[in-house]
Structure 1
Amino acid sequence: MTLKIPVSILDLVHVVQGSNLNDALIASMELARLADTLGFKRVWYAEHHNTPDLGASATAILIARAATLTRNVRLGAGGIMLPNHSPLHVAEAFGTLARFFPERIDLGLGRAPGTDSMTAGILGRSGADPDSFIRNLLDLNGWFSDKGMSESLPVNGGIAAGTRVPLWILGSSAQGAAIAARLGLPFSVASHFAPDDLHRVLDIYRSQFRSDAPTAQVERPYVMAGMNVMIAPSDDEAQRLWTTAQQMIFDVRSGHRRPLQAPVAPAALPGHVRAFAESVLGIKAVGSPQTGGQALEEFAKATGANELIAMTYAFDPADRSRSMRYLAEL
């Protein structure tokens, strides 16, 4: 079985029980090296704040470090939560990255806070409403253009000018899909944690897509869809390792945040934990290479995705690396 579309990797830089943030950062960079060696298309880093067990906060710095350790894989933000940042600062940071690492930097942009409301206020957010988000996107597009000027302000992007950093819209809702379509930008759909209404969201993006938009960067709709992946030598082993992800997402729901927990026998998890995990993380490829590969292929066909991005929650980095190797073979 061979997947016929590119596959990329999403990394949240998780801390696992018994380790610390330094360990998580080291493991994250090893993951980037492995993705580069195995031929994955991209490694993207998420943005989260006030979460002690996630090391993905300073996304641009993670990208810079990973880019120095790799040669071919694209590195990007999956994403920059734009309301948390000054758009000009984002343009300058990613313009600098693009000059250090030409043709290897992506900028995925979202509207979610990536944190709680108090921390969002501390970050000095700009507007998160759709109009503010679109205005900031237009400014970013102008700063990255050859002209280097924003749409709304007489301000030059300086180091960002002419770098043409690719912009992506991240989202899980109809509103995010509509923004991506209106601007003619590729759309990364967060189906790995937001499976509801996926097909309606994709229909909105594709039906409303405008290739003639001044900001358009692709000629036709381009979808990268998120999927949870854990591939192991057998279905039973993969299901056991998957319990780490099930525990994690229930911890998020209950507010009992912990580092990633060791896997347990699936039957040892309470039924309500399994049920909630299935409702949130139900888009998944968990199993042997045969089982996992079939799930990946079926999801790709069902969504018509142009690319998949895999999220793997693993207590042992070696299990994540092995899953990636199996995924690369597919």
Structure 2
Amino acid sequence: MAELSILELGRVREGFTRADALNDARRVARHAEQFGYKRFWVAEHHNMKAVTTAATSLVISHIAAGTTSIRVGAGGIMLPNHAPYIIAEQFGTLEALYPGRIDLGLGRAPGTDQMTLRALRRDPASADRFPQDVLELQAWLGPVEEGQRIEAVPGSNSNVPLWILGSSLFGAQVAAAYGLPYGFASHFAPQALDDALATYRANFQPSAQLDKPHALIGVNIIAAETTEEAKYLATSQQMSFANLVRGDRKLTQPPIEDIDTYWTEDEKIRAAQMLAVSIIGDRNKVKEGIDRLLARTRADELMIVSDMYDVDKRIRSFEIISEVVNG
């Protein structure tokens, strides 16, 4: 059976503060640790009023400080937004503070819109250097070579494990060529999932970090005591995607009884395309859905997004998922 992990965006809920969102994330991580989840990752996004994980390394430290054993990391750092040397320093610091618990997933997208990208003072063409920047970052995190005059401190000799993240064949090719684990963003961009996994596995080259392919896939799972309750709780996420289609990013909204009163038919279709890799229901439906997804993808690890308004219900969802998978 696949390993289980969690993706966190530190979503701000209507009626709550940004500090609440960050502290809720740490609370969820503590429970995830008790439920046997392997990783708890946060993602870099900018200029999104409901997302508090823009300063990704700081959020990782906040969560790692509140837990003891679960791996905490970036899912991911959008490398074109940063100098590899700076990321080596940041994640070397995290590894020094929380040894053996830090992961560094890397993405090529900006994680924002073009106007915000200019505010980040980054050249859009920097995405073209992504493969070279990955190797540079890996070198900064690796052993210091004789005669090396610049060192990432902390960072050097930390060997923080790298992951390549993506939603296209490009990331799959980079991960395969460099012998790195690969995470596919099927929780919001599922169209190329099967082709990307096939490309990654067919072209994988063993490396010092990894001797065989390791594929992680994102999946939206809303689990509850009954399927009716799960469908109700899932409307918060569905409204978020409808708002995304509208270009109207709101805080996470409380669930509603009938989602069809909220979105138009076109918004429903477009949101459904993004949410195609989703499982909503009681424990039996969740087990059936996970079994089908694993039979289709042969994923080594599932990165769960269980996005809902009520934090206690969200924690219970993660508990049910763990019980279904781990018994």
**TM-score, scaled relative to structure 1:** 0.93
CA distance in structure 2 between the aligned counterparts of 1:154 and 1:127, rounded to whole angstroms: 30
1:160 is paired with a residue whose SS is coil
Q: Which residue of 1 aligns with 2:243?
A: 251
Which deviates further from its counterpart, 27-36 or 261-270? 261-270
Deviation at 1:275, TM superposition (A): 2.3
Cα distance, 1:158–1:231 mapped onto 2, change above 3 Å: same
Task: Indicate yes or no: 2:287 matched with 1:290.
Answer: no
Task: Indicate yes or no: 2:24 matched with 1:31.
Answer: no
Q: Which residue of 2 aligns with 1:268?
A: 261
Q: Which residue of 2 aligns with 1:321?
A: 315
Q: Cα RMSD over matched residues? A: 1.8
CA distance in structure 2 between the aligned counterparts of 1:163 and 1:13, rounded to whole angstroms: 27
CA distance in structure 2 between the aligned counterparts of 1:238 and 1:45, rounded to whole angstroms: 24
CA distance in structure 1 between the aligned counterparts of 2:125 and 2:150, rounded to whole angstroms: 22
CA distance in structure 1 between the aligned counterparts of 2:88 and 2:123, rounded to whole angstroms: 15
Which of 216, 224, 230 aligns to 1:224? It is 216
Once the two structures are superposed, residues 166-212 of structure 1 have per-residue CA deviations (whole angstroms, 9 ceiling, x without a partner) of 00001000111111111111000001111102111111111111115
Which of 279, 304, 307 aligns to 2:298? It is 304
CA distance in structure 1 between the aligned counterparts of 2:255 and 2:36, rounded to whole angstroms: 28
CA distance in structure 1 between the aligned counterparts of 2:93 and 2:23, rounded to whole angstroms: 24
C-alpha contact (below 8 Å) 1:148/1:158 kept by paired residues = no
CA distance in structure 2 between the aligned counterparts of 1:54 and 1:326, rounded to whole angstroms: 25
Deviation at 1:277, TM superposition (A): 2.1
Deviation at 1:309, TM superposition (A): 0.3
Cα distance, 1:126–1:96 mapped onto 2, change above 3 Å: farther
Once the two structures are superposed, residues 264-297 of structure 1 have per-residue CA deviations (whole angstroms, 9 ceiling, x without a partner) of 1235344433322211111011100110121012
2:303 is paired with a residue whose SS is strand
Once the two structures are superposed, residues 29-85 of structure 1 have per-residue CA deviations (whole angstroms, 9 ceiling, x without a partner) of 111111112111000001111112211111101111111111110000001001111
C-alpha contact (below 8 Å) 2:80/2:127 kept by paired residues = no
C-alpha contact (below 8 Å) 2:163/2:183 kept by paired residues = yes
C-alpha contact (below 8 Å) 2:2/2:302 kept by paired residues = yes
Letter in 2 for 1:257: R
Q: Which residue of 2 aligns with 1:136?
A: 133
Gaps of at least 5 residues in structure 2 are: none
Q: Which residue of 2 aligns with 1:193?
A: 188
Q: Which residue of 2 aligns with 1:84?
A: 81
Once the two structures are superposed, residues 239-286 of structure 1 have per-residue CA deviations (whole angstroms, 9 ceiling, x without a partner) of 111111111011111111111111112353444333222111110111
Letter in 2 for 1:178: Q
Task: Indicate yes or no: 2:55 matched with 1:58.
Answer: yes
Deviation at 1:155, TM superposition (A): 2.8
CA distance in structure 2 between the aligned counterparts of 1:63 and 1:128, rounded to whole angstroms: 28
Aligned length: 322
Cα distance, 1:66–1:99 mapped onto 2, change above 3 Å: same
CA distance in structure 2 between the aligned counterparts of 1:149 and 1:29, rounded to whole angstroms: 41
Task: Indicate yes or no: 2:14 matched with 1:20.
Answer: no
CA distance in structure 2 between the aligned counterparts of 1:236 and 1:35, rounded to whole angstroms: 24
Which of 140, 156, 170 aligns to 1:175? It is 170
**TM-score, scaled relative to structure 2:** 0.94
Letter in 2 for 1:280: M
Match runs of 1:116-127 below 5 Å: 116-125=113-122
